Homo-oligomer: A and B are copies of this chain.
Amino acid sequence: MVNPASVEKATLQTIDTPCLIVDGDRMDRNIQRLNSHLATLGPKLRPHLKTAKSVEAARRVMMSDSGPATVSTLKEAEQFAAAGVRDLIYAVGIAPGKLGRVLALRAEGVELAVILDSVEQARLIADASRESNTRIPALIEIDCDGHRSGVLPDDAERLVEMGRALHEGGAELRGVLTHAGGSYSARGRAALEQCAEEERAGAVKAAETLRAAGLPCPVVSVGSTPTAHFSRDLTGVTEVRAGVFVFFDLVMAGIGACTVDDIALSVLTTVIGHQPDKGWILVDAGWMAMSRDRGTAKQDIDQGYGLVCDVHGKPYDDLIVADANQEHGVIALRPGSTGTLPDLPIGTRLRILPNHACATGAQHGSYQVVRDGSDVIEAEWPRFGGW
């Protein structure tokens, strides 16, 4: 009889490279940390699943297998709905051509809400609600920091016009939603706490404007990974959204939202060549495996295409993926470093911490899950892409 424990599992030394590694212990700690913080402040977490795009990862981060959660594409909504998630916000301004798929999911019993920031969209949602004889729930997107989309919190006229177009037109005015994307360029506790407070204040102000006009506004939804962690007071907020906190990444470490040791995502790679005259070590993780994201280029420490660690996840001093082609990563010492290049023969396995977990994750079809400090691949979690 075969002892199940004797079945050989793949390890970090045997699995094909490049591949995407998740440290499940670090991931669990990251989830626990945000939940503990929010428990002291009140609002529930509506995690953003755009980072993980994996049913297995989603089930570890959601309060329950049925949600709530946030998605960035209707593909995510459909995939997570198929896995039993029943409470979703599609947090990208709705396009008219997408309402059909929204209605199809709602008809299957998925409590899917949409967002908007124009009267034009409010009318389209109201029209679709009346035509389908269902009140599509909609949240008005608030622009709390000028970084992307949304209505200004003090633009009472547009807010109320949108609210009325929804509420009186046959849709359901569910509330307001904002995302402090500007916090990604903030630095230091004081600046991040201020971003969090501006995010809260903008959303609450818009909600009060709608309520003062006699309109419903039960939900006040805020969130980004930095502001979720640095919020001190969430009075008036009903839920917090965050995505990248599950894994963290070098951009978040550069902001101060985590340390490098918290980063749960890495790319496993193999040394394939050397150019000693140039101080280069070539590996089989290029931009196809790391993504083209250079999010740390604007931070104090530019990590190139990623920070190089040994196979167990311990960073080498000053060693980064300095450049990348499609399937080649060029490892070198950080410019100005006084260190020496480690001796890493052909075939050596390394792990690269990514700039941006969402972008690097998207380059891979699955996660290989390990425990902190272990070489054994405990599980493979499929992930999906597309729209």
Residues of A within 8 A of B (CB): 14, 16-19, 50, 72-74, 92-98, 101, 117-118, 120-121, 124, 143, 146, 148-149, 181, 270-275, 278, 282, 284, 287-289, 291-294, 325-328, 330, 345-347, 358-359, 362-365, 385-387
* Residues of chain B contacted by A19 (CB below 8 angstroms): 387
- Chain B positions within 8 Å of A359 at CB level: 287, 292
Q: When the two chains form their complex, are residues B97 and A328 in contact, meaning their CB atoms are under 8 A apart?
A: no
Contact status B94-A272, CB under 8 Å: yes
Given contacts A95-B284, A146-B278, A292-B359, 19 further A-B contacts (CB under 8 A): A16-B98, A16-B101, A17-B95, A18-B387, A50-B326, A72-B327, A73-B288, A92-B328, A95-B270, A96-B347, A97-B270, A118-B346, A124-B346, A143-B275, A148-B328, A288-B362, A291-B291, A326-B358, A362-B363
- This chain's copy number in the assembly: 2
CA distance A148 to B97 in the complex (A): 45
Contact B326 A72 (CB under 8 A): yes
Is there contact, CB below 8 Å, between A346 and B273? no
Contacts of A95 in B (CB 8 A): 17, 270-272, 284, 346-347
> Do A149 and B181 have beta carbons less than 8 Å apart?
no
Which of B291, B325, B328, B346 is A96 in contact with, Cβ under 8 Å? B346
State the CA gap A95–B344 with chains docked (Å). 13
Contact of A345 among B120, B275, B284, B347 (CB under 8 A): B120
**In angstroms, how far is the closest chain B Cβ from the Cβ of A366?**
9
A181 to B, closest residue via Cβ = B325
What B residues does A287 contact at CB under 8 A? Answer: 293, 359
- Chain B: CB-nearest residue to A92: B327
Cβ of A282: which chain B residues have Cβ within 8 Å of it? Answer: 93, 148-149
13 residue pairs bridging A and B, Cβ less than 8 Å apart: A50-B326, A72-B326, A72-B327, A73-B327, A92-B284, A95-B271, A95-B347, A118-B273, A120-B345, A148-B330, A289-B387, A292-B293, A294-B294
